[in-house]
Amino acid sequence: MSVKYIPVQWNKNKWIYDGVLVALVIAYITIFIKLGTPSADLARPLDYSILRMRAFGTCALWMLTIILCIGPLARLDNRFLAVLYNRRHFGVLTTAVAFTHAIYVMGQYFAFSGQPQLTALLTTATGFNQILGFPIEILGLCALVLLAILSATSHDFWLSFLSAPVWKTLHLLIYPAYLLVVAHVALGYLQDSRHPAFGIMFFLGAMLVAGLHLAALLKERKINASDIDWVEACRPEDIQDKRAAIVTLSKDERVAIFRSGSSFSAVSNACAHQGGPLGEGKIVYGCVTCPWHGFSYKARNGRSPAPFTEMIPTYNMKLEDGVLFIDRKANEPGTDVEPIIFEVETDG
Instruction: Give the number of other Cβ atoms within 10 Å of residue 240's Cβ.
Output: 11
Side-chain-facing half-sphere of 113: CA atoms under 13 Å: 16
29-87 pLDDT tens trace: 999 888 876 665 545 555 677 888 889 999 999 999 999 999 898 878 867 776 776 78
pLDDT above 70: residue 122: yes
pLDDT for res 66: 94
Percent share of the chain, pLDDT over 70: 87
Alpha carbons 307 and 329: distance in angstroms, whole number: 29
What is the pLDDT at residue 74? 82
DSSP-derived 3-state class of residue 299? coil
| Residues whose CB is less than 8 angstroms from the CB of residue 321 and which lie 6 or more positions away in sequence, other chains included | none
Percent of the chain with pLDDT strictly greater than 90: 42
Q: How confident is the model at residue 300 (pLDDT cuts 50, 70, 90)?
A: very high
- What is d(CA 175, CA 150) in angstroms, rounded to the nearest whole number? 11
Q: Are 257 and 335 in contact (CB under 8 A)?
A: no
- Judge whether residue 24 has pLDDT over 80: yes
**Rounded distance, CA 83 to CA 85, Å?**
5
Q: So what's the pLDDT on residue 174?
A: 94
Q: What is the pLDDT of residue 219?
A: 78
What is the arithmetic mean of pLDDT over 119-133? 74
How does DSSP classify residue 240? P
CA distances from 315 to 34, 63, 238, 330 (A): 56, 38, 19, 5
Q: Which residues, in sequence order, are CB contacts of 133 under 8 Å at separation 6+?
A: 127
Confidence of residue 5 (pLDDT cuts 50, 70, 90): very low
pLDDT at residue 9 tops 60:
no
Across the chain, mean pLDDT equals 84
Lowest mean pLDDT among 8-12, 70-74, 195-199, 286-290: 8-12
Supply the pTM of this predicted model.
Answer: 0.69
- Tell me: the pLDDT tens digits for 306-328? 888 999 999 999 999 889 999 98
Quickly state the pLDDT bin for 18 (edges 50, 70, 90): confident
